[in-house]
Structure 1
């Protein structure tokens, strides 16, 4: 593919050129396309495609559009009916899920959580009662904070931390969240990190009163959780009709 296309749009042209040289693909036209590329670069790529040229979109380490650049170009191609395809390639989330040993029948890719603490906590509260395996991306300098927050919101669930997949220092730490916290607290963790966490195993509460629901809803709202997120949490805990809950919420 890289040998045959007219142009390569790469997240990092330096790394891509090394790859091309290794495979004997010389004098191939390459341009940069990354998170900070402006609209003019997107417009140039689209116009080149509309002129009948073939372009390969290459990300630095992963698959384009999966926490990597590419989403905007894909959207533009769809809107302008420009044909495209995808070549199956590396994806850290799926690779880490396979290595984790946790259920892969159903899962949610959460990616990087918001950096703002309030938004991060709201997101975790939304996910706390999600019944499927969760996959997070995180940086080395924030991973300890993430694990601590997860223990506080999720409890000590089964988890797996995978870093540097396919590289020399690849490592997988399996166990509970507290086991992982203890391990990473003893040394400095480097590289790209994927944290896979077991989903919530719920038994819906059946015996409750409207007062119990109202009290719990008010408690969640006082914690700074949005009403939308609070309603999701209530529905995940109690065997209650959704419309009945929404009617109760309008009175608060």
Structure 2
């Protein structure tokens, strides 16, 4: 038996490779509650069942966590066949440190939970991996600039597909690119972890150029000041004095 997030897709795959007919059942976010007991019952009766997701790895932002846990609770043997994972692929393509990282997935959509999570991550020292929809990635990138400063980042979309694209630079560069051309497809945003080091050797002209660069990218003056403070070892009042001359 095969338990699939989308039975239509798996049936096409089975047909393409002329695999013998299998009993295929759905296992997705709307069916998993009832299906979990059904599948574990079949497993306890001695059947072998494969769990597949639509375009990723089960339990990694895809259905599977509850079923796997239930199998473990019932002492049912579970094994894994390594498969596609957008987070790891995007991390490799990003060019950012990959020896230590934190997979975030989708943030809470709004409210205190989202704000608290972003505050918690602001000083996390390792590379961060976010999933986001193409319609909300501009908003997320802006929020990250506000909370984290203008860190190095990489936006990866449509991994392994015809229109695969990797945008590297600072968060402000990525935001400017998104504003210029709407992003489509599945999106992974990889962001550099927190660094305590500040730029200590700079001139007033360096600061002025940095502020102008950020403002030209459509970032608000308030956000541009925050970003500059996060990167340079400069007194807040001195920074404001420079900003008033722009």
Normalising by structure 1, we get a TM-score of: 0.77
Tell me which of 80, 85, 98 is aligned to 2:79: 85
Please say if 1:113 is aligned against 2:107: yes
* DSSP 3-state at the match of 1:173: strand
Which blocks of at least 5 consecutive residues in structure 2 are unaligned? 198-246
Question: Is residue 2:132 matched to residue 1:138?
Answer: yes
What SS does the aligned partner of 2:81 have?
Answer: coil
Q: 2:12 aligns to what? A: 18
Q: Deviations over 1:212-247 (max 9, x none)?
A: xxxxxxxxxxxxxxxxxxxxxxxxxxxxxxxxxxxx
1:31 counterpart SS class = strand
Residue in 2 that maps onto 1:221:
none
Cα deviation 1:140-181 (Å, max 9, x = unaligned): 110000000000000000000000000000000000000000
The Cα of 1:38 is off from its aligned counterpart by 4.5
2:184 corresponding residue in structure 1:
190
**Superposed, which structure 2 residues align to 1:101-250 within 5 Å?**
101-202=95-196
CA distance, structure 2, for counterparts of residue 39 and residue 183 of structure 1 = 41
Q: CA RMSD in A?
A: 1.2
Q: 1:116 Cα deviation (Å)?
A: 1.6
Residue in 2 aligned with 1:69?
63
How many equivalent residue pairs? 198
Deviation at 1:28, TM superposition (A): 1.3
> The residue matched to 2:36 in structure 1 has which SS?
helix
Find runs of 4+ consecutive structure 1 residues off by over 2 angstroms.
none
Unaligned residue ranges in structure 1 (runs of 5+): 1-6, 204-252
**Structure 1 counterpart SS, 2:131:** strand
| 1:197 CA drift (Å) | 0.2
2-side partners of 1:86 and 1:49: how far apart?
A: 16
TM-score (norm 2): 0.79
After TM superposition, give the deviation of residue 88 of structure 1 in Å: 0.4
**Rounded Cα–Cα distance in structure 2 between residues aligned with 1:138 and 1:87:** 26
Aligned equivalent of 1:42: 36
